[in-house]
Amino acid sequence: MIKVFNCNNKNYLKKLQIFLDKRRFGKKTDHKIVSTIIKDVKKNKLKAVLKYEKKFTKNYEIKISLKKINKSIRSLDNKTKIAIDFAYNRILKFHSKQKLKNIFYKDNLGNKLENKYIPLESIGIYVPSNLPSTLMMNAIPAKIAKVRRIVLATPKFNGMLNPAVLYVAKKIGIKEIYSMGGVQAIASLAYIQKVNKVVGPGNIYVSKAKREIFGDVGIEGMIAGPSEITVVADDNTNIDHVATSLVGQAEHDTDSQSILITKNKKILNNINKKISYFLNKIPRKKIASISLKKNGLIILAKNDKQIIKLINKIAPEHLELNIKNRKEYLSKIINSGSICIGPYSPMAATDYNVGTNHVLPTFGSSKFSSGLNLNDFYKKISYITLSKKGIEVIGKQAITLAEYEKLIGHAQSIKSRIRRN
């Protein structure tokens, strides 16, 4: 079922890169579809959004009344509400510890330098229709950061808005809720609701749309696309844990990626049987099966050094290290969105109520970025107050550099502020 790469073969790293790039860059037509929808929404506003909603999801209502929202919330069972409240409190507690400190510095010349964190004025959150956990992961840090305006875009699921998503929205205090999804939702948040930043994960079309709107509005400092997992297993790893983690990731989306790395040939020989067994136990078997066939991979490595090299090259969204010598690995792994350590730390738990954020970098972007955190909902402003003595001392050296760079206007501006003898 799943492709196998043997690291004894020549050019295995090149083959791995081809495998990763095929998923990352997608079909050329994907870009055209995304660009066309975004241009249409920019030009024709809500008329265009409604056109695509009707076309893709048969949705005829974008702005939902408060009456309908409250009615939907009342239909949510108490057990789910309790589970959401539990997760909410853990996410709030962990993210509250990320509060950022302003910097103030005064030198011996009396110059004052400051860095202040300023909350963003507005954000748009994209939430796939059936994922209240994703709304918590995005909106709770925004609430802690005191973002003034939070706009929610979430598509309908089976023709209805998800009552659990709406329950979370009400709990957080989100007033603007729109029933829309896909590329048209991302474009609407940027060009109709006109938020300062758009956050939240989605499928490959949503990810491409967010890349395209970047520059007009902000997005997270990463690519939060179709989900990924890399599992490292050895002789001590429970093979059921491996199989359920791979299947659990694959059920997200047909574009999700599930990779197993092992030195153990016994796992290699048995894993497909286990995967088939657990696939038959889930309702989303068809989605997971397509995902595993298209984006699943088993890598047979020679040694620990090679495994670490592979992990850092893949730079996965999620990494599960359920191996005996995991402590030796941790200091050498530098590219991963999150790392689940030991037999009792399934990635699936981190999607809900552990407390860490599940909006993480995908497509190898953990090489240069981190998961969603409090910092994503602030901007920093530098404040500079130079003293009279300060500009005289600093200014002389600045003038030298300005003249060296042939920016005489800069030098002139500084000179005009220096006391003449």
Tracing tokens 């603007």 back to the chain, one arrives at 176
pLDDT at residue 29, rounded to an integer: 62
Q: Of 248, 221, 263, 244, which is closest to residue 373 (Cα–Cα)?
A: 221
Instruction: Give, for all 421 residues of the chain, the pLDDT tens digit.
Output: 798 999 988 888 899 999 998 888 776 667 889 999 999 999 999 999 999 999 998 898 999 899 999 999 999 999 999 999 999 999 999 999 998 999 999 999 999 999 999 999 999 999 988 899 999 999 999 999 999 999 999 998 777 889 999 999 999 999 999 999 999 999 999 999 999 999 998 888 998 999 999 999 999 877 777 899 999 999 999 999 999 999 999 999 899 999 999 999 889 889 999 999 999 999 999 999 999 999 999 999 999 999 999 999 999 999 999 899 998 999 999 999 999 999 999 999 999 999 999 999 999 999 999 999 999 999 999 999 999 999 999 999 999 999 999 999 999 999 999 966 4
Rounded Cα–Cα distance for residues 247 and 226 (Å): 14
- Digit-coded pLDDT (tens) for 313-333: 999 999 999 899 998 999 999
pLDDT at residue 211, rounded to an integer: 92
pLDDT at residue 242, rounded to an integer: 96
User: How would you class 47 by CB atoms within 10 Å of its CB: exposed for 0-12, middle for 13-18, buried for 19 or more?
Assistant: exposed
Rounded Cα–Cα distance for residues 49 and 187 (Å): 9
Catalytic residue among 95, 252, 318, 358: 318
pLDDT at residue 28, rounded to an integer: 65
Residue 151 in contact with residue 193, Cβ under 8 Å? yes
pLDDT at residue 27, rounded to an integer: 63
Written as one letter, the residue type at 239 is I
Catalytic residue among 212, 220, 251, 317: 317
Rounded Cα–Cα distance for residues 56 and 54 (Å): 6
- Digit-coded pLDDT (tens) for 54-84: 999 889 899 989 999 999 999 999 999 999 9
Domain annotation for the chain: domains and CATH numbers? 28-223+374-379 (3.40.50.1980), 225-344 (3.40.50.1980), 387-415 (no CATH)
Residue 107 in contact with residue 384, Cβ under 8 Å? no
Rg (alpha carbons) of the chain, rounded to whole number: 25
Task: Give the ranges where 26-148 is alpha helix by DSSP (H).
Answer: 28-57, 66-74, 78-96, 132-144
The question of whether 317 is a catalytic residue gets the answer: yes
- Digit-coded pLDDT (tens) for 273-310: 999 999 999 999 999 999 999 999 999 999 999 999 99
Q: Which residues contact 319 (CB under 8 A, 6 or more apart)?
A: 229, 230, 231, 232, 311, 333, 336, 337, 338, 339, 340
Predicted TM-score (pTM) of the model is: 0.92
Tokens of 421: 């003898």
pLDDT at residue 176, rounded to an integer: 96
